[in-house]
Amino acid sequence: MSEEPTTQAAGSRKNPQVFTGLLRGVLQYGIYVAFIALCIILSVISKNFLTIANITNVLLQSSVIGVIAVGMTFVIITRGIDVSVGSVVAIGSAIGVALMLFNGLDQYLGIIVMLAVGLVAGVLNGFSVAKLRMPAFIVTLATMQIFRGLTLAISRGRSWYDLPEAYLALSVGSIGPVPALVIISAFIFVLGHILLAKTTFGQKVYAIGGNPEAARVSGVRVERTLLQVFSLAGGLTGIAAVMLTARLTSFWPTMGTGFEFDSIASVVIGGTSLSGGIGSIGGTAVGVLIMGVINNALNLMNVSAFYQQVAKGGIIFVAVLIDTLKVVYGRKR
């Protein structure tokens, strides 16, 4: 008489455990399955999707966002956020191109200037967050507006063309069939993975994201590491400015608009938690490719630019929902 209720109770406890285990598996590996399934579906829908030219185009479109997303991964793992990246790309390009075209600056020094602008922007954001204890979202929202305004002031709202040969060479250069910009992006992904997964610095980043106070007690210099993380993100954004300027072979005052949303979405889709302490560069790479494939698919299907914005917003919503489910059901890094 007493065995049947006991058996039923054991079964009722087992079913939720099985469900939770399956959900954890889906949340952990579903991104890779989703990417493969997405590519298969799009190859059936559009005969142009799997062509060499289109794949190369997807990789080119993803290369700039990919470089930014590597830096954003470090920032988000530490529980931070940086919404200024698009404006940093614009101000870096504006200053570098203006100095080259109108002040006779050497083209290679112009590239260094773009990198320096990105680094300075990152240091400014990092100092405000780490030393002044200001919220990362508010700080970078403010600097986003500042840098975008300065871009418009410097350029007076005009676009510039006739860039030096170094940019044109970077734009069309390749090693075999692989464009130079894609190679640069892949190289940065590899370096980012090594830095995050194989070094003491990466361990500190994870520790801060997991519990800043516990990290401080264990000897991690939290403020210093946060400053380094935002500086790293800014430096990578400077590299992205050089890459985008080369890819467009011109400067546009609106360049970089929306990059903050694309990079954050790519990072979160790739498994990095907005709650901090969880994430990987490999996951970010898959997230970047998914965003690139979706953007490419919308263009191939001639979807209106207005509805493309709706689609991107929906993707970010789903990414945040998935991140929330990870927190609720738990997930090991």
Question: What integer pLDDT is reported at residue 183 of this predicted model?
Answer: 96
103, 124, 321 from 150: Cα distances, Å: 18, 15, 35
Confidence at residue 220, expressed as pLDDT on a 0 to 100 scale: 95
Q: What pLDDT does residue 332 have? A: 44
The C-alpha atoms of residue 257 and residue 26 are separated, in whole angstroms, by: 33
Residue 154 has pLDDT above 90, yes or no: yes
Q: What pLDDT, on a 0 to 100 scale, did the predictor assign at position 297?
A: 87
User: What CATH number labels 46-327?
Assistant: 1.10.3470
Under the banding of pLDDT at 50, 70 and 90, the label for residue 311 is confident
Is residue 25's pLDDT more than 90? no
**Calpha distance 272→79 (Å, rounded):** 10
Residue 217 carries which side chain, given as an amino acid letter? Answer: V
Question: Per mean pLDDT, which range of 39-43, 236-240, 279-283 is the poorest?
Answer: 39-43
Q: Are 181 and 243 in contact (CB under 8 A)?
A: yes
Residue 333, pLDDT above cutoff 80: no
Query: Amino acid identity of 297?
Result: A
Residue 5 scores a pLDDT above 60: no
Residue type, 62: S
Structure tokens at 204: 């500190």
pLDDT band at 165, cuts 50/70/90? Answer: confident
Q: How far apart are CA 99 and CA 101, in angstroms?
A: 6
Q: Are 235 and 118 in contact (CB under 8 A)?
A: yes
Map tokens 């040969």 to a residue: 165
Q: Give the model confidence (pLDDT) of 72-111 as tens digits.
A: 999 999 999 999 999 999 999 999 999 999 998 999 999 9
Total-model pTM: 0.89
Q: Report which secondary-structure segment, H or E, holds 262.
A: helix 259-269
CA distances from 31 to 76, 153, 289 (A): 18, 42, 11
Q: Say how far apart CA 90 and CA 238 lie, in whole Å.
A: 10
Alpha-carbon gap, residue 98 to 155, rounded angstroms: 8
**SS3 at position 144:** helix
Nearest CA among 235, 243, 226, 87 for reference residue 163: 243
242-298 tens-digit pLDDT: 999 999 989 999 999 999 989 999 999 898 998 899 999 999 999 999 999 988 888
pLDDT at 290 (0 to 100): 92
Q: What is the pLDDT of residues 182-221, one digit of tens each?
A: 999 999 999 999 999 999 999 999 999 999 999 999 999 9
Residue 228 has pLDDT above 60, yes or no: yes
Q: Where are the domains of the chain?
A: 46-327
Residue-averaged pLDDT of the chain: 88
Which two tokens mark 323?
């991140």
